[in-house]
Amino acid sequence: MKTQTNRKIIKSTFIYLLLSIFALFFIIPFLWILSTSLKGDAQIFTIPPQWIPETFHWDNYSKVFDRIPFLLYVKNSVFVSAIIITGTVLSSSIVAYSFACLNWPGRNFLFIIVLASMMLPIQVIMIPVFVFFKEIGWLNSFKPLTLPSFLGGSAFSIFLLRQFFLSIPRDLLDSARIDGCSEFRIYWNIVLPNAKPALATVAILTFMFSWNDFLGPLIYLSDQAKGTIALGLGMFVGQYVTEWSLLMAASMLMMLPMLLIFFVFQKYFIQGFIMSGLKD
């Protein structure tokens, strides 16, 4: 018994060691962004690199609020992201269900099309789509950014969820069908609850994408009152001079909500499976 406990201690120490090494690896650039956001412009590119600013320029953060209508942009970004997440999770899950759990003619062929649609670079899709939105009068609004997400979300989410749904045992679905459940009931009551981690992943990744999206807001939003924070960030990059510390401060402000969302959504991921030897 003592050897078992010892082995456990060695194992957990080893795990903590690994976790910490990687944590360092991931956090260093983040710390640099944080430290740069508090520096005056002179100290950013010194040799050797300075981690602790000489004076803490907390005013960099307030300057960000002065230079761009930051709170307004945040509100816009939050709404846009929320709508996109809702549309994506709902529609890509039902489409994925169709591809993964139902059999119908042409299914495999259309799935290849789903994949192929991810392979065309955005630069060439951009212009025809823009012209389309112009013809239906949706320019200079948030509609082109948000409403398409209800039409299947994105090929990426569909693909992801399909792979997850494929690992749900077939017998579960078939027995439900034999019991007389409609396909929609099976989708809503069996598949979705079992795929919470996958759905949470889609939600988080979709949020990341929409929060950081620059190109869409750039061409579809014209009024200043309609900016998003990704656009706001671009204001600090000039033709000859980039205001690094303000850019980093604005980035910090942009990144913190994402960390928060992730931390909150973690509850859909169970704590991880227990090491051997212990009972739940």
Q: Which of residues 121-140 bind another protein (CB under 8 A)?
A: 121, 123-125, 127-132, 134, 139-140
What residue type is assigned to position 175 of the chain? S
Contacting another protein within 149-178 (CB under 8 A) = 150-153, 156, 158-160, 163-170, 177
Q: Which is nearer to another protein, 71 or 110 (CB)?
A: 110
Whole-number minimum distance, CB 246 to another protein, in Å? 11
Interface with another protein (CB under 8 A), residue total 137
Answer for which of 4, 10, 30, 189 binds another protein (CB under 8 A) is 30
| Residue 3 within binding range of another protein, rule CB under 8 A | no
Contacting another protein within 92-121 (CB under 8 A) = 92, 94-95, 97-105, 107, 110, 112-121
What residue type is assigned to position 94 of the chain? I
Contact residues for 276 (Cβ-Cβ < 8 A; gap 6+): none
Q: Which is nearer to another protein, 74 or 139 (CB)?
A: 139
Answer for which of 2, 46, 52, 193 binds another protein (CB under 8 A) is 46
Contacting another protein within 54-83 (CB under 8 A) = 67, 79, 82-83
Whole-number minimum distance, CB 2 to another protein, in Å? 19
Contacting another protein within 204-263 (CB under 8 A) = 204-205, 208, 212, 214, 218-219, 222-224, 230-231, 233-242, 244, 247-248, 251, 255, 258-259, 262-263
Using CB atoms within 10 A of its CB, is residue 209 exposed (0-12), middle (13-18) or buried (19+)?
middle
What is the H or E stretch that residue 82 is in? helix 70-101
Cβ proximity of 245 and 39 under 8 Å: yes
Three-class SS of 178-208: HCCCCHHHHHHHHHHHHCHHHHHHHHHHHHH
Cβ proximity of 96 and 158 under 8 Å: yes
| Residue 38 within binding range of another protein, rule CB under 8 A | no
14-37: burial string, b at 16+ Cβ within 10 Å, e else: eeeeeeeeeeeeeeeeeeeebbbb
Instruction: Please count the other Cβ atoms lying within 10 Å of the Cβ belonging to residue 153.
Output: 26
Answer for which of 2, 3, 47, 193 binds another protein (CB under 8 A) is 47
Whole-number minimum distance, CB 264 to another protein, in Å? 10
| Residue 197 within binding range of another protein, rule CB under 8 A | yes
Q: Is 8 left (phi over 0), alpha (psi -120 to 50) or beta?
A: alpha
Q: Which is nearer to another protein, 38 or 158 (CB)?
A: 158
Q: Which is nearer to another protein, 58 or 125 (CB)?
A: 125
Using CA atoms, how far apart are residues 172 and 167, in angstroms rounded to an integer? Answer: 11
